[in-house]
């Protein structure tokens, strides 16, 4: 396991040496990146001696280096840990600035990120700092909360760097969690539906919903990262396609239904995360519907295909887990439990679309995972990518439990 340790400029920088040693004792290889301000508190030579690796400070410290180093370092490490993380670096990370080596590494990094903030109590409590931290949390960055106590400035309060032992513990916990997940879905073909569907009224108008597809795409990304073969059946979205995923683009509920059933046979896990329209017009108008003095318009609708119900009833059900989503605005868990029974699902992810940060077209979500045995797991507000991993953790737990019962 490899950690890239970022050190920024505050009095707590000296504690980073203890963090480095603690990680090394656990068998972790550590490479260090320092900001210029950090070198005013501790010399790079200290960390070079401890790590046995050159410490990088400036973007152009080693112009003869053969690789694009910030990208190479980001890819070589299993995790980026910044301890201490000043209010300045928290702000730069949140805003996506890349004006030094550490912030450039952060933007190049696709691995887990842990920040251990350290700053004056007033800086910690400032609304701008808290807003920046919340932005990073929504993007999946884990924050190791600072301690409360006497600070170098003479004040007492929240903001002092967490103890090195706690930083090491949290880092190892995150590394082990990632290692355990790295191939735990390798035996599975996972089919996921995502995004909205579109039902045409006439050549100019259609019915749809506010789904962005982010949750389904996060599930696909997480599944690939954990070794699965993934088929993503996606309605129209405006987000990048996940790498390593087989994508089938569809438009209407009927097209999604047909694509799912056509490719379902080899799937061992099906997750219906799409927001499929419940109804469509019985007949699509061939020409644009004109207002023409009308004050009312009546359109007859019919129910769309029940995709997840058809999946649950399809041949091979005994070797396939079926997971649904329930996006509700009231009685969320009650509707979710009823849907498990009605559709013969194994599990459902229920969320309140009226809750702040948990509705459509946002980067975060909060939900309750309920299985058909009545077990419920609450997932607090977090990034959809984090939630995707938690959902797969529960799917694997449920699958193992089913094997034991049989």
Count other C-beta atoms under 10 Å from residue 234's C-beta: 25
Q: pTM for this one? A: 0.71
**Residue-wise pLDDT tens digits, 335-379:** 999 999 999 999 999 999 888 888 788 888 999 999 999 999 999
214 plus 120 within the same structural domain:
no
In a domain, 290, yes or no: no
Which residue, among 34, 4, 16, has the nearest Cα to 114 in the 3D structure?
4
200 plus 177 within the same structural domain:
no
Cα–Cα distance, 368 to 377 (Å, whole number)? 6
Based on the structure, what is the number of domains in the chain?
Answer: 2
**Residue-wise pLDDT tens digits, 128-156:** 999 999 888 878 899 999 987 766 666 66
244 plus 309 within the same structural domain:
yes
208 plus 173 within the same structural domain:
no
Catalytic residue, candidates 68, 153, 156, 313: 153
CATH code of the domain covering residue 38? 3.40.50.1950
**3-state SS record for 141-152:** CEECCCEEEECC
User: What is the length of the chain?
Assistant: 406
112 plus 256 within the same structural domain:
no
- Tokens 């109590």: give the residue: 121
Cα–Cα distance, 68 to 63 (Å, whole number)? 10
Q: Is 110 exposed, middle or buried (0-12, 13-18, 19+ CB in 10 A)?
A: exposed
216 plus 349 within the same structural domain:
yes
Indicate if 153 belongs to the active site.
yes
308 plus 206 within the same structural domain:
yes
Which residue, among 117, 115, 93, 116, has the nearest Cα to 105 in the 3D structure?
93
Domain extent at residue 218: 189-285+296-405
Q: Is 139 exposed, middle or buried (0-12, 13-18, 19+ CB in 10 A)?
A: middle
> Quick one: tokens of 345?
């699902």
SS3 260: helix
**Residue-wise pLDDT tens digits, 178-223:** 777 778 999 999 999 999 999 999 999 999 999 999 999 999 999 9
**Residue-wise pLDDT tens digits, 64-106:** 444 445 567 777 888 999 999 999 999 999 999 999 999 999 9
């Amino acid at each position: 396991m490899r950690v890239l340790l970022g050190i920024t400029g505050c009095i707590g920088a000296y504690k980073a040496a203890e963090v480095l040693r603690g990680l090394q004792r656990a068998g972790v290889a550590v490479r260090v990146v320092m900001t210029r301000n950090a070198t005013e508190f501790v010399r790079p030579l200290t960390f070079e001696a401890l790590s046995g690796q050159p410490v990088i400070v400036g973007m152009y410290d080693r112009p003869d280096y053969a690789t694009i180093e910030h990208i190479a370092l980001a890819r070589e490490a299993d995790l980026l840990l910044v301890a201490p993380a000043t209010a300045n670096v928290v702000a730069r990370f949140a805003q996506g600035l890349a004006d030094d080596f550490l912030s450039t590494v952060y933007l190049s990094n696709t691995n887990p990120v842990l920040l251990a903030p350290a700053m004056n109590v007033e800086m910690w409590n400032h609304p701008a700092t808290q807003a920046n931290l919340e932005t990073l949390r929504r993007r999946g960055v884990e924050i190791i909360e600072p301690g409360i106590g006497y600070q170098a400035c003479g004040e007492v309060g929240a903001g002092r760097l967490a103890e090195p032992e706690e930083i090491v513990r949290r880092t190892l916990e995150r590394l082990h969690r990632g290692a355990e997940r790295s191939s735990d879905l390798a035996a599975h073909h996972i089919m996921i539906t995502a995004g909205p569907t579109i039902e045409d009224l006439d050549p100019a108008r259609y019915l749809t919903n506010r789904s962005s597809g982010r949750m389904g795409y996060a599930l696909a990304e997480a599944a690939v990262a954990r070794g699965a073969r993934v088929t993503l059946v996606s309605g129209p979205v405006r987000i990048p396609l996940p790498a390593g995923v087989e994508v089938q683009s569809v438009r209407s509920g009927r097209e999604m239904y047909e694509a799912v059933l056509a490719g379902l046979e080899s799937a061992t896990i099906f997750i219906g995360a799409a927001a499929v329209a419940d109804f469509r017009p019985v007949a699509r108008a061939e020409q644009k519907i004109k207002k023409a003095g009308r004050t009312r318009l009546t359109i007859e609708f019919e129910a769309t295909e029940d995709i997840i119900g058809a999946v649950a009833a399809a041949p091979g059900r005994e070797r396939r887990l079926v997971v649904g989503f329930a996006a509700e605005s009231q009685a969320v868990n009650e509707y979710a439990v009823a849907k498990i029974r009605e559709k013969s699902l194994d599990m459902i992810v229920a969320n309140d679309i009226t809750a702040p940060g948990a509705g459509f077209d946002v980067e975060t979500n909060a939900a309750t995972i309920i299985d058909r045995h009545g077990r419920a797991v609450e997932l607090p507000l977090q990034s959809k990518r984090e939630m995707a991993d938690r959902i797969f953790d529960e799917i694997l737990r449920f699958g193992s439990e089913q094997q034991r019962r049989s």
